[in-house]
Chains A and B, each alone.
Chain A
Amino acid sequence: MFDDFFIRALFAGIGIAFVTGPLGCFVVWRRLSYFGDTLAHSALLGVTMAYTFDLNIAISVFLISSVIALILIQLQKKTNLPGDALLGLLAHSSLAVGLVVIGFLTFIRFDIMGLLFGDILAVNTDDLFVIWTGGALILIVLRLIWKPLLASTVNYELAEAEGLNPDRAKAIFTILMAAVIAISIKMVGLLLITGMLIIPAAMARNISDSPQKMVLFSIIGGLLSVILGLYSSLEFNTSSGPSIIAAALILFILSLFKIKQSIKLKN
């Protein structure tokens, strides 16, 4: 069944959409899109590490992204710089360092375009295994921290006062972000991962009235984007990662009509 590269790509994309859907909602709610970008940029460093020390790419990216997240938290505590400046600092410097390291690794031929924009058609069965088991783990953990995470997203002090330990939930969520980037880097590439997180969630926001519905629609939106994007990339011979994101954008634009309708209904 997984002999065909297209079927493998499809299953990889579907597995990732199940994870980016719910996580993307929290990225939108907690205004973490730039944070996601930063982790994704640092993933390049993770990929070079994997090649240098012959490690699994997903694990290497996960480790580097987690380290970058930890550095960010430390910098936030120790400096007076605003959050977005620190994120920019880490994002671009880790990207630059990653590219410099690639320059030294002359013995390996890098597919830079594949790293930046993804190469889902090159997904092999090992990658599928990483995506589906990693994805399942991420979803299980997210389910466990759902209540404190959602409550502290609505209001931190309420969550803290009523004993939900929001700080722990936030720390775990940061690790989940690093994990989702690690398992999806190969599919959409480091420049487009944040798009996969945000665009389906943004689409879902337009058509939902409760957190659970938004998560559901976000997953459905991601799945449709993967399927539409992959088939159209096959049809029109376009690169697959950008095609998936473009499909997500089309769904987002369609969801804007629903907003218009509901505003009309209210009037």
Chain B
Amino acid sequence: MNSNNDILVKLNNAGFRQSEKWLVEGVSLTVEKGKIVTLIGPNGSGKSTTAKIALGIYKNIEGSVEKYTTKVGYVPQKISIDWTLPIRVYDFMLLTETIEDSAIDEALSLTGVIHLKNKNLGSLSGGEFQRVLIARAISKKPELLVLDEPVQGVDYTGEIALYELIKKISDTLNCGILLISHDLHMVMSATDYVICLNGHVCCSGSPSYVAKNNEYKALFGEKASQILTTYEHKHDHVHSDEGEIKKN
């Protein structure tokens, strides 16, 4: 087991209700340094809501959130930016924190959009903008990264490269990542812990454990289960069936 100092954010039986309708309830999860926790589930299952609870965007929640870091990078699922504001990629990189130029260049290079640095944010394509969003989140070297479908709209080769990048960032920065993704192939190969949501936690644990779970199969089908089990990843630790992490 890791010591408690590694915990970045912890949700205890958290839920959020909007006008009498529960968007999600009863979620408990922990994101630790250097670990990737993935939320999967169908549309409307409360993945983004859970992320927003963890981030503290939703305030009137059930249960509780314990947050042990203020260095947070966030890639939201939907971002509507009002173009009455003239803003270049460079300005956007500096939006929430003052970052050195070298760090900005490095992050933009890593996500492959350094050539867009002085472009107006409104002139980018969907995929380009997504890469800028990821660059912005990682450039501030956060301790906790929350990525809500970070590669949507990115081309196929770019998608693979970006997932590899996310994995690399988790290792090099030793930051904890809360990831939301639909791409079971890509995600499972790198994830430490999977939480399957459908308004509540259906099942959770290591990828291989979740893949074998009947509720998961019912939600995603037999085929998705096969995808998961094909990814047996190599780590310096193993997971017990309950998803507990044991160092080798």
Q: Tell which of B88-96, B187-195, B221-229 binds the partner.
A: B88-96
A143 CB–B CB distance under 8 Å: no
Chain A proximity of B60: nearest CB distance (Å): 13
The reply to whether B86 and A158 form a contact with Cβ atoms under 8 Å apart is no
The reply to whether B72 and A162 form a contact with Cβ atoms under 8 Å apart is yes
Known contacts A154-B81, A157-B74; decide if A211 and B57 are in contact (CB<8 Å): no
Known contacts A155-B81, A157-B74, A162-B97; decide if A211 and B56 are in contact (CB<8 Å): no
A-B contact count (CB 8 A): 73
The reply to whether B146 and A205 form a contact with Cβ atoms under 8 Å apart is no
The reply to whether A163 and B70 form a contact with Cβ atoms under 8 Å apart is yes
Chain B proximity of A199: nearest CB distance (Å): 15
- Residues of B181-219 contacting chain A, CB below 8 A: none
**CA distance in complex: A163, B9 (Å):** 14
Residue of A154, A158, A159 touching B85 (CB-CB under 8 A): A154
The reply to whether A160 and B55 form a contact with Cβ atoms under 8 Å apart is yes
Contact bitstring B63-97, A, C-beta under 8 A = 1, else 0:
00000001011101001111011111011100111
- Residues of B136-157 contacting chain A, CB below 8 A: 140, 146
The reply to whether A210 and B97 form a contact with Cβ atoms under 8 Å apart is no
Contact bitstring A187-222, B, C-beta under 8 A = 1, else 0:
000000000000000000100111111100000000
Residue of B52, B95, B97 touching A157 (CB-CB under 8 A): B52
Which A residues are in CB contact (< 8 Å) with B52?
157, 161
Q: How many chain A residues have a CB neighbour from B under 8 Å?
A: 25
Chain A proximity of B129: nearest CB distance (Å): 12
Which A residues are in CB contact (< 8 Å) with B45?
none
- Residues of B43-66 contacting chain A, CB below 8 A: 52, 55-57
The reply to whether A153 and B72 form a contact with Cβ atoms under 8 Å apart is no
Chain B proximity of A156: nearest CB distance (Å): 8
**CA distance in complex: A211, B120 (Å):** 11
**CA distance in complex: A163, B72 (Å):** 8
The reply to whether A155 and B79 form a contact with Cβ atoms under 8 Å apart is yes
Known contacts A161-B55, A163-B70, A211-B87; decide if A29 and B82 are in contact (CB<8 Å): yes
Which A residues are in CB contact (< 8 Å) with B92?
154
Known contacts A150-B95, A209-B88; decide if A158 and B56 are in contact (CB<8 Å): no
For this complex, into which size category does the number of interface residues on chain B fall? 20 to 34
Which B residues are in CB contact (< 8 Å) with A214?
86
Chain B proximity of A47: nearest CB distance (Å): 32
Which B residues are in CB contact (< 8 Å) with A211?
85-87, 91
Contact bitstring A1-39, B, C-beta under 8 A = 1, else 0:
000000000000000000000000000110100000000
Contact bitstring A22-63, B, C-beta under 8 A = 1, else 0:
000000110100000000000000000000000000000000
A92 CB–B CB distance under 8 Å: no
Which B residues are in CB contact (< 8 Å) with A155?
76, 79-81
Which B residues are in CB contact (< 8 Å) with A158?
74, 76, 79, 95-96
Known contacts A161-B146, A163-B70, A214-B86; decide if A151 and B96 are in contact (CB<8 Å): yes
The reply to whether B79 and A205 form a contact with Cβ atoms under 8 Å apart is no
**CA distance in complex: A31, B85 (Å):** 11
The reply to whether A29 and B57 form a contact with Cβ atoms under 8 Å apart is no
A147 CB–B CB distance under 8 Å: yes
A246 CB–B CB distance under 8 Å: no
Which B residues are in CB contact (< 8 Å) with A208?
86
Residue of B74, B81, B87, B90 touching A162 (CB-CB under 8 A): B74
Residue of B nearest to A167 (CB): B59
Known contacts A154-B95, A158-B79, A161-B146; decide if A210 and B74 are in contact (CB<8 Å): no
A-B contact pairs, 8 of them (CB 8 A): A147-B96, A150-B95, A157-B76, A161-B146, A162-B96, A163-B72, A205-B86, A213-B86
Nearest 9 CB-CB pairs, A to B?
A: A161-B55, A161-B74, A162-B96, A29-B85, A151-B95, A160-B57, A208-B86, A163-B70, A151-B96
Q: Measuring CB to CB, which residues of chain A are less than 8 angstroms from any residue of chain B?
A: 28-29, 31, 147, 150-151, 153-155, 157-164, 205, 208-214
| Extra 18 A-B pairs, beta carbons < 8 Å, given A160-B56, A161-B76, A162-B72 | A28-B84, A31-B82, A147-B96, A154-B87, A155-B80, A157-B55, A157-B74, A159-B95, A159-B96, A160-B57, A161-B52, A162-B96, A163-B72, A208-B86, A210-B91, A212-B91, A213-B86, A214-B86
